[in-house]
Structure 1
């Protein structure tokens, strides 16, 4: 029986100039020349012609400069996008730029996807079937840290993280990554719990070629040339902004969210109450949330009626439902982000006598940070938000991702793993509550509040 690889899929994440190409050269040469591998067709692909062509020239030079290999060479053909190396025994190494037709018409035993952070779904859909009939195939994903659109590479990485966290090894995957754990958006100045961008030991641990291929002076100059450190983190420390890819609890920790559960919490009668509305970018879902004091903390909840929670498909129901709550529960205001899809509802609500307030972009970002701190406080802060464990809000928090806004951040509806309109609505409601409480204080008036289920 033919020998099987210990891993069919191989993933490598490492910063540039650390020798990743040498690993690929060794693997491809082994596939071509070692009889035990006997790989007749190997495909090496990269995002663009220049990268693929450079790798072709390096492999060809290694063969031509090694007599024992060169005498087996039939030819190294450089033909403007159709580079290939062929041996006298018929084995060949093909160099391809990635397209929607990658791999079609071939039956490779090995495929190398270099610069995998730029790999798209169309290329993968074309490629996978070409390997399915091979008895011993292997697929390499290699590249530097991925950004928000690195979905295919991100899925490989997520497989590795899932196996690491669960202790349940993936029998088909080998994955290696050299990266730093730097401060996130929620760390306070002077944080000593994460890797420092200016620590030479961090440079060494994230660059296996440090002191060999990469000098102190090179990295030090890169750091000095990037005062913000954003590019340095990605390109030299391999700190990616990977897509969520179905990952859960990537912003708010699950334990922190569960710790803020209070099933008996409810808005205190006579206290300030603020509603908020959010609509998904494609207007597929909408949500209505409320925030008020329970006497100790800020209570956030997705409102509900007799039949359902107010997280429902479409938009047409929203104005009618908000007006119903406005008339019955008499909240102090309704918060809507006017630049979101929900902004189209403002005129209709105001026409019906509903008071609508809207945050600026900066205020919305501050509200996102306040919501995070209210659930998962940083050192020196106190958690002040509670919820009642509604599945729709739990799901939104679990699947949420964030996007950067200058020196702040906000929830990202595009890259989140689920519909996060309930979370956005709850965030806006909490922001509105604080705004009214601190900017427009008023004495509470007698009010009977029987609970949201009775609205």
Structure 2
């Protein structure tokens, strides 16, 4: 086809298209994940691989998706130029526009042998309803959601190609605000980071390739840039790099986009240790809007009660009040707190089974304590998680915690899951207990919420700090 690849592209092509003894793609199950910085040449590499496969195989169906319409259209325009090369265009379908259809929503490249590459944006629902798809390319895969995967991956189950279906995931390290859970989970499945930076692969059915500079790299170190970008400077000129450096004002953004460096999210952690330590205050004490919140593990083996409120300086404070096995102790514990203190609210996730309704109001089972519900699978939980994250990660953090080991550990094993267009806490694995961080998140949400059901108080003396 008159195409020349660089050495690194040959290497990726060889392992991405490698086959097992039975003729199936070795990565037909787990797919090919490419974590490669911008301006390296991954679109050219994968694009030419796809074009070659379409020419070599009859009736190959390929879906090329990006998160945004703008990106999908740009890739389509790039690949139009690729297939118009002298030695390739003769393979395009005959007829008007030589097999290239440019109508919005129907952008595609067709070949004489019946193969086709279709382009579309996931944000517009592209990919749903297809069947007998042989190859799927997920561009901008660092913001690929679980829902988009559910819509699209099933279409490859009916692939008719002897080598099996193949999935390509292309992207860069996600930002903290990106829905990058799927990307990071795939990365973590492929890698196990050991002490001394030793990397051990865990998956035998996935190809994972990552180009990146050292974590502590100086963004102006050209040697580090060359380490992350094998096309620099012979294909990616210095001025292109300098342009990115000039326009990406945030240094972390440049490190992610141009140098492929993962920040704290490389472990899937939602809030990194450094940011969490910056809002640590062992002496933090809430005085106003005192709120308790309860969370229970899915198997009811563990429960946590957390406290949140506003401090004298106007900042918000969260801490774990108690954590014990089972759930039998929770009602009595919260009842004793409500009797001794003027609580703003008691928050209970309605999925815990600790709530009963009497006369149109919600109470904690076995008590006269009125509770404010937070829907586990709804907007409340998504808002609560967003507020907690912002309280730690915004430029001037408004949240403080008391550096409790249980809360720290829960945060370290907490991950994201998509919810209501945003996200909610999820466990790293089945053995992880995240009830302390979930209850702390709900406590903060309740403390900041005005329309709450007030807890019943039996004592008349008012207190402004929690009595233990």
Q: TM-score, normalised by structure 2?
A: 0.56
Residue pairs, 1:55-204, within 5 angstroms = 55-67=75-87, 69-71=89-91, 73-74=93-94, 75-98=99-122, 99-100=124-125, 102-134=127-159, 136-147=164-175, 148-162=178-192, 167-182=200-215, 194-204=216-226
- Against the structure 1 CA distance between its residues 129 and 339, is the aligned structure 2 distance closer, same or farther, given a 3 Å change threshold? same
| Separation in structure 1 between the aligned mates of residue 332 and residue 213 of structure 2, nearest angstrom | 47
Secondary structure at 1:67 match in 2:
coil
Q: CA shift at 1:323, angstroms?
A: 5.8
Give the root-mean-square deviation of aligned CA atoms: 4.8
Structure 1 length normalisation: TM-score?
0.58
Q: Deviations over 1:127-153 (max 9, x none)?
A: 121112335110001122213412222
Q: CA deviation at 1:112?
A: 0.7
Distance in 1 (CA, whole Å) between partners of 2:238 and 2:75 is 26
Unaligned runs of 5+ in 1: 183-193, 254-271, 290-299, 328-333, 343-347, 350-359, 372-384, 403-412, 429-454
CA contact (8 A) 2:271 2:411 kept: no
Q: Choose from 406, 413, 418 the match for 1:399.
A: 413
2:305 corresponds to: 287
The structure with the larger Rg is: 1
Aligned to 1:354: none
Quick check: 2:305–2:436 contact (8 Å CA) kept in 1? no
Matched with 2:48 is 26
In 2 relative to 1, CA 339–24 (structure 1 residues): closer, same or farther, beyond 3 Å? Answer: farther
Distance in 2 separating the partners of 1:228 and 1:61: 33
Written as runs of structure 1 = structure 2, the 5 A alignment for 1:189-228 is 194-226=216-248, 228=250
In structure 2, relative to structure 1, the CA distance for the partners of 1:139 and 1:242 (3 Å cut) is: farther
Residue 48 of structure 1 corresponds to which residue in structure 2?
68
1:400, 1:420 within 8 Å by CA — same for their partners in 2? no
> Is the 1:15–1:238 contact (alpha carbons within 8 Å) kept by the matching residues of 2?
yes
CA distance in structure 1 between the partners assigned to 2:104 and 2:284 by the alignment: 67
Task: Give ranges in structure 2 of 5+ residues lacking alignment.
Answer: 1-20, 275-282, 308-318, 349-367, 370-390, 417-422, 428-433, 445-467
Rounded to whole Å, the distance in 2 between the matches of 1:167 and 1:367 is 37
Equivalent residue number for residue 265 of structure 1: none
1:166–1:323 Cα change, 3 Å: farther
Higher strand share: 2
Alignment equivalent of 1:5, drawn from 12, 21, 25: 25
Quote the Cα distance in structure 2 between the aligned partners of 1:72 and 1:220: 38
CA contact (8 A) 1:281 1:340 kept: no
Structure 1 363/199 Cα, relative in aligned 2: closer, same or farther at 3 Å?
A: closer
d(CA) in 2 for partners of 1:41 and 1:63?
16
Q: Check the 8 A contact 2:127/2:152 in 1, yes or no.
A: yes
Judge conservation of contact 2:305–2:320 (CA < 8 Å) in 1. Answer: no
Q: In structure 2, do the counterparts of structure 1 residues 124 and 69 end up closer, same or farther at CA, with 3 Å as the change threshold?
A: same
Task: Name 1:421's counterpart in structure 2.
Answer: 437
Cα 1:84–1:49 change in 2 (3 A) is same
- CA displacement at 1:119 relative to structure 2: 2.1
Equivalenced residue count is 331
What residue is the counterpart of 2:337 in the other structure?
Answer: 322
